[in-house]
């Protein structure tokens, strides 16, 4: 497990709900719309403090993982109020403790801009998805508005160096999902928002070179 990332998120857990409140209110309807596409055995990556559990369709059973024990402690309270079953587990997305072809759906919410090795994490999701499985991604992307995109490029290293990573993410300064992922030919977006977050349509289990 990546202990450095774990420590960052443990520290960020104390104020995470405060900094995420505005985005939760603004983006909640879009998350609910995306999560309505969930089917079958489902894995949620980076559960955080459980803020997104309320947007899940009721009556389902999920496994939700996070690298941070402190995040999961907070998420447990929200999981208890969900009208269904949520099994919380501490785990690194780059080292998933599941067998091949386990899940029908994988869900990520503003996750991969904070994964130090995002392609490794995506390869793990590919491995645990069943043939014909889908990944539902609600992720940060670089703004398509020229000056704003340049501003975010400049702010990304500064924000990561000077503020907790959770705050940097909420500022939308992470840009990796819209660039590195496409370059690696892992997942491609068919639907996006020109804001700090992007709704990425569900995709079939992608073909990834196992080099």
Cβ neighbours of 43 (radius 10 Å): 26
Kindly list the averaged pLDDT for each block of 10 residues, start to end, along the chain of length 211: 86 81 78 93 95 94 96 95 96 96 94 86 95 88 74 67 42 35 29 32 40 35
Tell me what pLDDT residue 170 has. 38
Tell me what pLDDT residue 135 has. 93
Tell me what pLDDT residue 77 has. 94
Q: Are the CB atoms for 112 and 121 separated by under 8 Å?
A: yes
Tell me what pLDDT residue 156 has. 65
Q: Which residues lie closer than 8 Å to 57 by C-beta, 6 or more apart?
A: 35, 36, 38
Tell me what pLDDT residue 172 has. 38
Tell me what pLDDT residue 65 has. 97
CATH topology of domain 3-204: Rossmann fold (3.40.50)
d(CA 208, CA 105): 17
Tell me what pLDDT residue 154 has. 74
Looking at the chain, the number of H-run helices and the number of E-run strands are: 7, 6
Q: Which of 135, 137, 116, 138 is nearest to 208 (CA)?
A: 135
Tell me what pLDDT residue 19 has. 72
> Domain spans of the chain?
3-204
């Amino acid at each position: 497990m990546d202990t450095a990332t774990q420590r960052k998120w443990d520290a960020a857990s104390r104020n995470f709900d405060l900094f995420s409140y505005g985005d939760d209110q603004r983006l909640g309807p879009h998350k609910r719309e995306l999560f309505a596409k969930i089917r079958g055995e489902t894995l949620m990556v980076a559960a955080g403090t459980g803020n997104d559990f309320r947007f899940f369709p009721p009556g389902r059973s999920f496994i939700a993982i996070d690298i941070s024990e402190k995040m999961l402690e907070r998420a447990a309270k929200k999981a208890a109020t969900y009208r269904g079953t949520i099994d919380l587990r501490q785990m690194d997305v780059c080292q998933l403790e599941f067998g091949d072809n386990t899940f029908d759906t994988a869900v990520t919410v503003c996750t991969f801009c904070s994964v130090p090795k995002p392609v490794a994490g995506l390869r793990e999701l590919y491995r645990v998805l069943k043939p014909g499985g889908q990944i539902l991604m609600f992720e940060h992307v670089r703004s398509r508005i020229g000056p704003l995109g340049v501003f975010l490029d400049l702010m990304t290293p500064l924000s990561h160096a000077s503020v907790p990573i959770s705050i940097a993410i909420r500022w939308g300064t992470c840009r990796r999902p819209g660039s590195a992922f496409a370059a690696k030919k892992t997942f491609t977006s068919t639907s996006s928002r020109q804001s700090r977050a992007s709704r990425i349509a569900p995709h079939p289990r992608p073909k990834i070179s196992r080099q």
